[in-house]
Structure 1
Amino acid sequence: MKSLLALALACLSACIASAQAASIGVVGLFPGKAVLVIDDRSPKTYSVGSQLAEGVKLVAADNNTATIDTNGKRQVLTMGQYVHHAAASGGSSSVTLQADIQGHFVAKGQINGGGVSMLVDTGASLIALPASEAARLGIDYKKGQMGRASTANGVINVYKVTLDTVKIGDVELHQIDAMVQESGLPIILLGMSFLNRMDMQRNGQQMVLTKRF
């Protein structure tokens, strides 16, 4: 009886989480399967035919695209794209930033649970961290994918990593791509790997970031 009750509760929890799914993102593609992120949860591999949420199903997948059926409407997604599920409940999280005297927006927040200051930079494709900050936050960045980048100070080593969590105010995202730079970067840059999941509204000296997915 206890095992049946536990199973029922687990199924109920799964159904509730599924019914409240706000977004489904594609992070991996294979013939007949797709690796998806649902509502900022950990990536999971789904086979074609899988029910992703109430009224949402993965109906096709190959090396290039995944097709999601949402209440009869099909959307073809490529790597990194998201679909938003209309059945989501609750309001969106948002945070308001105030410009400094130079007109820059600096956000106080957390990366992997550690306190940080981040300069909003829409010109940066990824969150960028100085190596010293990465080390302080316990990020073993040298295990990341190494590359080379040209800067004003010459060509330097950079490392692509994945951050477990990035939080500003009530807005928290998971599994965010970032780059660690070994020199020439004085502050963390809050780049588009975070910002492209926000609605950004500028009103004078204030900027409101509202989580989209």
Structure 2
Amino acid sequence: MRRLLPLVSLLLAASLAQAAPEQVLVVGLFPNAVVLNVDGQRKLVKVGQVGPGGVEVVSADSRGAVLRIDGQTRRFELSREYSEGFSAPSKQQVSIARGLGGHYWVAGSVDGHPMQFLVDTGATSLAINEQDAKRLGLDYRVKGRPMLASTASGTAKGWKLSVDRVKVGSLEVLGVDTVVLEGDAPTEALLGMSFLSRVRWREEQGVLILESKL
């Protein structure tokens, strides 16, 4: 029986090597947590925990994550992958963890300018206030179409126009209908259906998943 032990050990080592994940994607980044996509299995994993495929999260912040995969420590950025074949994912995805109040907040950009978004499926368009519009360099009073918009505080004067591009993570949508509201509201840009209808989106266990359409 003792003579079989080395062979058993070799077979066990080979089995463990084969069990290593073929593809690891970081599809969401949060303070001390990441959303992993390991061989198609998605899960929110906190620092110090082990996720699908035995992938351990060593550290994580808004810039990237350090993962331990099959005994090797590597740093990942959003939507980067570790793959034996180094094949790119077929779709672009962004995962957003539910925040305070049950809302989804995500950083992105409008025409290349950084913008913090509040995802709002009840908003028809991307909605921003006048201060943000001026920061973006939008000539909304001249190029926009005057309108009245219904808000939580009542009816507000606004202007409707289109911005060139809106980006959230790796997702970019061109020609997005936007409403500029008079005054300081909304304090955070509302990411409405003029963007969301151009991507696929769904909720899974407190995570909002945005995915490009093919």
TM-score, structure 1 length as denominator? Answer: 0.55
1:120 equivalent in alignment to 2:119:
yes
Cα deviation for residue 153 of structure 1 reads 3.9
Cα RMSD for the two superposed structures: 1.8
Q: Equivalents in 1 of 2:138, 2:206: separation in Å?
A: 33
TM-score, structure 2 length as denominator? Answer: 0.55
* Aligned position for 2:104: 105
Cα deviation for residue 108 of structure 1 reads 0.3
Question: Taking structure 1 as reference, are residues 107 and 197 closer, same or farther at Cα in structure 2, changes over 3 Å only?
Answer: same
Q: Equivalents in 1 of 2:157, 2:127: separation in Å?
A: 13
Question: Taking structure 1 as reference, are residues 150 and 193 closer, same or farther at Cα in structure 2, changes over 3 Å only?
Answer: closer
* Aligned position for 1:170: 170
Identity of aligned residues (%): 34
Q: Secondary structure at the match of 2:194?
A: helix
Q: Equivalents in 2 of 1:158, 1:110: separation in Å?
A: 21
* Aligned position for 2:92: 93
Cα deviation for residue 93 of structure 1 reads 1.3
Question: Taking structure 1 as reference, are residues 110 and 152 closer, same or farther at Cα in structure 2, changes over 3 Å only?
Answer: closer
Q: Secondary structure at the match of 1:149?
A: strand
Q: Equivalents in 1 of 2:152, 2:192: separation in Å?
A: 19
1:195 equivalent in alignment to 2:196:
yes
Question: Taking structure 1 as reference, are residues 152 and 209 closer, same or farther at Cα in structure 2, changes over 3 Å only?
Answer: closer
Q: Equivalents in 1 of 2:165, 2:115: separation in Å?
A: 12
Count of residues in correspondence between the two structures: 125
In the TM superposition, structure 1's runs of 4+ consecutive aligned residues that sit over 3 Å from their partners are 150-155
Cα deviation for residue 132 of structure 1 reads 0.8
Cα deviation for residue 152 of structure 1 reads 4.6
Structure 1: unaligned runs, 5 residues or longer: 1-89
* Aligned position for 1:159: 159
Structure 2: unaligned runs, 5 residues or longer: 1-88
Cα deviation for residue 119 of structure 1 reads 0.4
* Aligned position for 2:149: 149
Larger radius of gyration: 2
Q: Equivalents in 1 of 2:137, 2:174: separation in Å?
A: 17
Cα deviation for residue 155 of structure 1 reads 3.4
